[in-house]
Structure 1
Amino acid sequence: MTKKARFLALDVFRGATVFLMIVVNSPGEWGVQYGPLLHAPWHGFTLTDLVFPSFLFAVGNAMAFVMGRFAEQPASVFWKKVLKRSFLIFLIGFLLSWFPFYDFRAGEFQSLATTRIPGVLQRIALCYLIGAVLIHYASRKMVIVVSGVLLIGYWAIVYFLGGSDPYSLAGFVGNDLDLWLFGEAHLYHGEGVAFDPEGLLSTIPAVVNVILGYFTGALLIKVGNNYESIAKLMIAGAILVLAGLWWDLFFPLNKKIWTSSFVLLTSGIDMMVLALLVFILEIRNYKGWTYFFEVFGRNPLIIYALSGVLITIFYLVPVGDGSLLSQVYSFFKLFVSPAHASFLFAIFFTMINWSVGYLMDKNKIYIKV
């Protein structure tokens, strides 16, 4: 199996994930989006809830193609690479939270005292770090055992140390840890209170999304892009989906506290989607449609970070009586309903980011952290 063949399905999978991440994060107006583009209010599952765990899964999948390089190298090489990458991803995520750094209306720098510390990229950094260390130093069997301990242990911690309703916003014990560790001012307030969906405790089970992505990539390397690997991924994915739905009866599917059932369900779906991509791209050789997603998949971190910067600029740049975002959104509302206009703005904004990725790809610019 050539390097190009190995990475095409991954690039498309990762690119589709980045595409969806930008679309769901950049509506013209919050609250009027299409239902599938909304997160579940609390317990439950939507298409949007699949996006972030899929990105973690893709991180693990990509790790399968590089971790072997460290086997014959000194430990210092491994630690230098992994720590540097984890730090840079975490730093980029934190800087995105702090951006634009300067409050032009108040005429002063934005205070670090109120900047959110947890976040999407921050969680990716921690999951990558923990997953890489486990995979590098532990045997395959031990990694599987540790993954089970992380999922079951997380369930036990949430259930036994939480409040009277441990799976609720008020009773979730992870919030107590985040408040103690980071402080209220450094957490997300989108739920109306200080609560961070990318908090520290709920990062523990998210590590397993990375590990299962790694095992998927390792299977493709060992078996190849063929019917055997597709069948194994489909069967494993179906088992994980069924296990996640069964666990949902006791530990409800919940993206915001990243329940263990949520890990199994999303990883199972990702396995089957990737198997389907291998079938379409490598077995059936239908590749004429993939370039759009490959653009996102070849510079995923940079394009995602760019989207965070650009959407903030759209909110901040004044145009008329509103912002650049509101004016563009209002233009779409001249022709369609608010829900359609909100979606059109998201697509318009996503295509701006794709255009940057396209120019980078055409000029062979690939930024790896």
Structure 2
Amino acid sequence: MKKTERYLALDVLRGMTIALMITVNNPGSWKYIYAPLRHSSWHGCTPTDLVFPFFLFVVGVSMFFSFSKYGNTLNKESFKRLGRRTLLIFAIGLFLNSFPQWDRDYSTLRIMGVLQRIALAYGFGSLIVLSVPRKYIPLLGFSILLLYWGILGWFGGEDPYSLNGNVTIPFDAAILGEQHLYRGFGIPFDPEGLLSTIPAVVTVLLGYLTGVFIKTTEKVKIPGQLALYGLIVAIAGRLWGLVFPINKPLWTGSYVLYTAGLAAMAFALLIFIIDIKGYKKWTSFFVVFGMNPLFIYALSGLWARTLGMIIKIELADGTVMRGSTWLYENIFVPLAGNMNGSLLYALTHVFFFWVIGYFLYKKRVFIKV
């Protein structure tokens, strides 16, 4: 079995997405967040809306290199690997959703989530790239996006791309149960639901095709050509967005193309800086995150839930405050005020988990999921 090839620019991009995931998921207060660190309210795309698709794009690129040792074909060994990873990542996501397990109403447990979407997009994406001839993957990916567009438009309500009128709600409710859907939008609607995971698979496929491209293209030509391809795909996404709005919660086809194009351009820039120009000293901070990405992300989620749901601080007046709220209001707000204190709280979390990642990195401990 061949040894998996590592690509420094890919590790850096992966690490950047994990650092940004921790940043946007852990503000000191959800009331005080700078605009670029907020998701768009519905249609549109903020810098924060790029983080998740960038990670799935990286998953796709990584798949090409990781499956190279299996000949990039579906066989007993590659199927065992993709099956084990899919189930394990999904299970970790479900564990986080149910934490703390001893104080959980399982009748309203959310089934889906970020890690669950990563698991399913990876699993189905892997089956496609390992079983479908490579030349047909672009056509298949675009067909999936067109099919999803048709499903939303045909089966949705009067405004099929609205929060209340989109068809993902009855679809996910029928399969998962309405009580198991996310309610952060004020109604049972899951932005990482089952139906909207279908186009997320295409984000992974575009990443995989990028892996193929950088492996089969002369090194010095990669940044320029990849940046051009990314620009074309991003423009196509923007143009499609005129009739099929760019929307992260629905993971629309225009959103897939737009974000994947930007991810390709960012990857091209990193390849140019790191591999062509040789500027590598600055990369170590992000490589630490990139070498244990899912472990660090899951650990950050577990810690956030511990601070918010388990650790309680009893005040002098007898009231009880969440540990996360106490830290923000008593340490970070006095230091930097509401808005900057909220950001500082998030960045402190990034540094905290970098320290953990650095310890693992120095010990050469790489936790495979």
CA-based RMSD of the aligned residues comes to: 1.5
Q: Which residue does 1:252 correspond to in 2?
A: 245
1:354 CA drift (Å): 1.1
Q: In 2, distance between residues paired with 1:351 and 1:314? A: 17
Measure the CA separation in 2 of the matches of 1:240 and 1:38: 24
The residue number in structure 2 matching 1:166 is: 160
Q: TM-score, normalised by structure 2?
A: 0.95
Q: Return 349-358 or 234-243, whichever deviates more.
A: 349-358
Q: Which amino acid counterpart does residue 266 of structure 2 have in structure 1? A: V
Q: Is the 8 A contact 2:72 2:129 kept in 1?
A: no
Alignment map for 1:227-246 (pairs within 5 Å): 227-246=220-239
Q: What displacement does 1:238 show?
A: 0.5
The residue aligned with 1:310 is: 303
Stretches of structure 2 lacking an aligned partner (at least 5 in a row): 316-320
2:263 corresponds to which residue? 270
Residue identity opposite 1:193 in structure 2 = I
2:132 to 121, 130, 138: 138
Percent of paired sites with the same residue: 45
CA deviation string 1:108-159 (max 9, x = no partner): xx23222110111111111111111111111122111110111111001100
Task: Out of 352-361 and 38-47, give the one that drifted further.
Answer: 352-361
Q: 2:197 aligns with which of 187, 197, 203?
A: 203
Q: Is the 8 A contact 1:6 1:221 kept in 2?
A: no
CA deviations on 1:171-195 (whole Å, 9 max, x unpaired) are: 1001111111111221111001111
Give the deviation of 1:41 after TM superposition.
Answer: 0.1
How far apart, in 1, do the equivalents of 2:74 and 2:222 lie? 32
| 1:1-369 aligned within 5 A | 6-71=6-71, 75-103=75-103, 110-224=104-218, 226-315=219-308, 316-321=310-315, 322-330=321-329, 331-369=331-369
C-alpha separation between the residues in 2 aligned to 1:220 and 1:72?
15
TM-score scaled to structure 1, two decimals? 0.95
* C-alpha distance in 2 between matches for 1:142 and 1:220: 18
Is contact 2:74–2:127 with CA below 8 Å preserved after alignment?
A: no
**Uncovered stretches (5+) of structure 1, i.e. residues with no partner:** 104-109
SS in structure 2 of the partner of residue 319 of structure 1: strand
C-alpha displacement of 1:320: 3.5
- CA apart distance, 1:336: 2.4
Offset, 1:5: 8.5
Structure 1, 258-267 or 313-322: larger mean CA deviation: 313-322
* Aligned length in residues: 360
- Structure 1 residues 47 and 163: alpha-carbon distance in aligned structure 2, compared to 1, 3 A threshold: same
Deviation at 1:69, TM superposition (A): 2.3
The structure-2 alpha-carbon separation of the partners of 1:5 and 1:84, relative to structure 1 and needing over 3 Å to count, comes to closer
Quick one: structure 1 residues 311 and 235, their matched pair in 2 at CA, closer, same or farther if it must change by over 3 Å? Answer: same
Judging changes above 3 Å, is the alpha-carbon distance between structure 1 residues 94 and 228 closer, same or farther for their aligned structure 2 residues? Answer: same
